[in-house]
């Protein structure tokens, strides 16, 4: 997207430092890592609320445990570098209206809810992580992406404007992250496989529009 500040941090160097000595991260790197971990931990419970009740009930226990673990690691990284980092707040269905109606009024089924949640919460996740990394994301683009995406995935809008379509295409690239986690931990998870397929299919669809 050409945002300013994308080269402010060396991701490869930070990854190497995390493996060798997490306590030696610079304040900027520690802030980036901690903010990402806190966002990852906070993300899943609100996401579950956008999906069918059976899905939420099945995952709420592991999700809360995962958040607890990630918060502990994030705190240790931040404390070692003497930085302060806060977790983001993600939107829940009760907080959102789409084209003047309740957020989930016009969506049904797992796929539709999944895509609506992904379009909104990935945007919120990125806004939080980018700020911690020093990446300058124009507020007007974020506001436009939020408005258009909610209406497109959960309302009456029949297309996304070009900058928002491109932005969402990049945000849906989480399919690669899901695959790496599944393979890296040897999970062979059917659920992770489903997430990956849905994210990849939407990313490829947006690329072809």
Q: How many residues does the chain have?
A: 209
Residue 187 pLDDT: 76
Residue 186 pLDDT: 84
d(CA 48, CA 38): 17
* 3-class DSSP assignment, residue 78: helix
* 3-class DSSP assignment, residue 48: helix
d(CA 179, CA 11): 19
Confirm if 116 and 50 have CB atoms less than 8 A apart. yes
- For the chain of 209 residues, list the mean pLDDT of each consecutive stretch of 10: 87 90 92 96 95 91 94 96 95 96 95 97 97 95 98 97 97 91 83 92 95
d(CA 197, CA 115): 12
Does the global pTM surpass 0.85?
A: yes
Cα–Cα separations (whole angstroms), residue 206 to 161, 172, 201 = 11, 9, 9
Residue 22 pLDDT: 86
Residue carrying the six token digits 């959102």: 96
* 3-class DSSP assignment, residue 4: strand
Residue 49 pLDDT: 96
Residue 116 pLDDT: 98
């Amino acid at each position: 997207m050409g945002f300013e500040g994308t080269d402010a941090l060396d991701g490869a160097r930070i990854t190497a430092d995390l493996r060798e000595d997490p306590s030696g991260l610079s304040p900027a790197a520690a802030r980036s890592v901690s903010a990402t971990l806190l966002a990852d931990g906070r993300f899943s419970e609100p996401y579950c609320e956008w999906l069918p009740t059976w899905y939420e009930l099945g995952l709420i226990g592991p999700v809360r445990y995962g958040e607890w673990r990630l918060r502990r690691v994030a705190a240790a990284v931040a404390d070692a570098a003497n930085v302060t980092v806060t977790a983001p707040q993600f939107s829940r269905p009760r907080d959102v209206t789409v084209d003047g109606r309740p957020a989930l009024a016009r969506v049904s089924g797992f796929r539709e809810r999944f895509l609506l949640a992904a379009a909104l919460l990935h945007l919120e996740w990125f806004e939080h992580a980018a700020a911690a990394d020093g990446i300058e994301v124009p507020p007007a683009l974020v506001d436009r992406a939020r408005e258009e995406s909610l209406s497109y995935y959960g309302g009456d809008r029949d297309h996304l404007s070009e900058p928002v379509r491109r932005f969402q295409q990049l945000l849906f690239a989480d399919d690669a992250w899901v695959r790496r986690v599944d393979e890296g931990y040897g999970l062979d998870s059917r659920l992770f496989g489903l997430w990956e397929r849905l994210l990849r299919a939407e990313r490829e669809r947006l690329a072809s529009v």
